[in-house]
Every structure is written in C-alpha cells, then in structure tokens.
Amino acid sequence: MNTYRGSPSLYAEQQYWNALTPPDQTLHIAKALAIAHPNWVFGGLVAASAYGFEHQWCLHDGSVSIMTQNHGSEQRHPRLKRVYMPQASSLAMRDSVTGLLLAPPAHTLIECARTYDFRFALPFFDSAFAQGISSEQVLTACSTLRTDCTPIFRLLQQANSRSENGGESLMRGTIYEEQFVMPRIQVPVKDPQTGTNYRVDFVWRLDDGRIIVAEYDGTEKYINPDMTNNRSIQQVVAKERERDAGLHRAGASDVVHLSFSEVYDRIPLRIKLLKAGIPLRSN
C-alpha cells in the first residue's frame, strides 16, 4: 500500500498498517522519512506521539512536521509541513525509543497550540504537565520565537495535570470554548450510605446550592476488557447507575453523562449543560 506519495514513496502492508493506531502510523511515516533524512527534526504530532502526550486520534491526517532553521523552506510535499524553529538542530532531542530527532517538549506544545483549536490543544498540555513539563519551560521557549503567544498563554492558564485522559481534557476545553463557568475536576466523593469512595470528572456548585456532576464516558468504558473487568455492557451500565445513585446520595443534584461524540459535536454538550443549569461566564 502506498501511504505517502512523494520523495521517497513509502509503503506498508495493508493488514499491518490498518492494525496500527493513528499515532503509530504517524511515527512509522516519520521513521521511514528519517532513514532518508537522518538530520530532520520532527515536531507536532510526531513529537507529541513519541512523548506520549494525550490527544485525539482524529488529528492524524498523514502529515508530519519538520522543524527548520530557515524561513521559507521549499514545500516539497503537501503533507510535509516545515515549521520555523530557531536553533532547531542544537535543541533537537534524540528519542531513545523511536530513534527520531524531536523538537523539545515545550516547542512541541507551542506548535500544537498554534496548529489546533484550544479544545484540541488542551489535552497535549494537560498530559505534558502530568509528565512534569512546566509552564516556565513553555514560556522560555515562547521567548525565543517571534510569534503571537496569546493561544499559548490561554492554554497555560487552563492546563491541569490532574486530568485523567485526553477525552476529559477535550471535554474541559470544549466547556471553556462554549463559555461555561469552569468546573472543578477529579473531585473525591464518598457515598454516605455505602462508604464507597468515588472520584468524579467535573463538579459545579451553583449559586442556588445545587451540585452538578458531569462525567465523560469514553467508548472504552464499555468495550475495553481492561476497563470493564470483562463485565458485559449490561453489567457496566448497572454499575454506572449504582455509581450515579451514590453520587446523588452524596449531594449531587444532577449527574450529566457525555460521550465523545457529544463533546466533539459541541451542541449536545451545550444543550445538556444548559439544561442542568450550568451558567455561562460573564467575560
């Protein structure tokens, strides 16, 4: 199968390629290109995937980013993006797993912030912060670039290392973009009847005293054996209802469940949160 027309052309066996995740497909493309161009420094989704930064797989479109020290480098392929980065060669880091030369984590975050909408960029930042990348590192990298850093500043203000996964980060980013008051995240809750301890994804305490809980329900919750403990879908749903009942006993006035498609489409998320009474920000 021809996966990357250009110079050089890249091929992969169909069944093998289809079994790879989108991040692994992107890394395979980069590793193949690096054979012909060992000094190329990769950024964007290549670097983010190599670093293990959480993000939505729908962002992978077969393109890769090459960091260059020269302005106006020739664009020789529509899916090969050349991004200006001063001192690209001296700042490059050799990844021990993939063998690729990568842009530093802070520069990778900056590129992602400049490339994607806020809600899609936030998962990169949450995940990177959970790995120990700091705001100071990102700000230092910003100071070396001649670019508008406003999108980066907004992401630094909202990034939270306590976010458990990219789906929750996407949901929080969408809540922000839709102008809702921002919730607390990963809040511990104890069922007063059973003593069961829960940790809920999002919590709002409204001015009228009501407490609204929102949960991000990824599809893996229902189909991944590691997350279902090999329970059937019916058993997983029953467990969810039991959890919701416990949250209500702990004081939740309403528990809102949102799937990936509802978050991605925005409108279902907006309708559900407005129905639950979540206020919009005044600014």
Q: What is the pLDDT along the chain (283 residues), one digit of tens a residue?
A: 444 444 456 778 889 999 999 999 999 999 999 998 999 999 999 999 999 999 999 999 999 999 988 765 555 677 888 888 888 888 899 999 999 999 999 999 999 999 999 999 999 999 999 999 999 999 999 988 877 889 999 999 999 999 999 999 999 999 999 999 999 999 999 999 999 999 999 999 999 999 999 999 975 444 444 544 545 566 767 788 999 999 999 999 999 999 999 999 999 999 999 999 999 998 7
The residue with tokens 């990034």 is 159
Amino acid at 40: W
Omega before residue 78 within 30° of 0, cis: no
Q: Where are the domains of the chain?
A: 2-161, 173-276
Interatomic CA distance for residues 20 and 33, integer angstroms: 18
- The count of other CB atoms within 10 Å of the CB of residue 194 is 11
Annotate 138-157 with b (16+ C-beta within 10 A) or e (fewer).
Answer: beebbeebeeebebbeebbe
6-46 tens-digit pLDDT? 445 677 888 999 999 999 999 999 999 999 899 999 999 99
Interatomic CA distance for residues 171 and 216, integer angstroms: 7
- The count of other CB atoms within 10 Å of the CB of residue 7 is 10
Name the 3-class secondary structure at 28: helix
User: Nearest 10 degrees: CA dihedral of 191, 196, 199, 205?
Assistant: 10
Interatomic CA distance for residues 259 and 213, integer angstroms: 14
Annotate 86-97 with b (16+ C-beta within 10 A) or e (fewer).
Answer: eebeebbbebee
Ordered alpha helix ranges (H), 65-202 = 88-91, 105-115, 118-130, 135-143, 150-158, 166-177
Interatomic CA distance for residues 1 and 14, integer angstroms: 6
Task: For residue 248, give every residue at least 6 positions away whose Cβ sits within 8 Å of its Cβ, in sequence order, or none.
Answer: 255
216-255 tens-digit pLDDT? 997 544 444 454 454 556 676 778 899 999 999 999 999 9
Mean pLDDT of all residues in the chain?
Answer: 89
Interatomic CA distance for residues 268 and 259, integer angstroms: 9
Query: Rg of the Cα trace of the chain?
Result: 21
Output the CA angle 275-277-283, nearest 5 degrees.
115
The pTM assigned to this predicted structure is 0.89
Q: Report residue 229 as tokens.
A: 């403990």
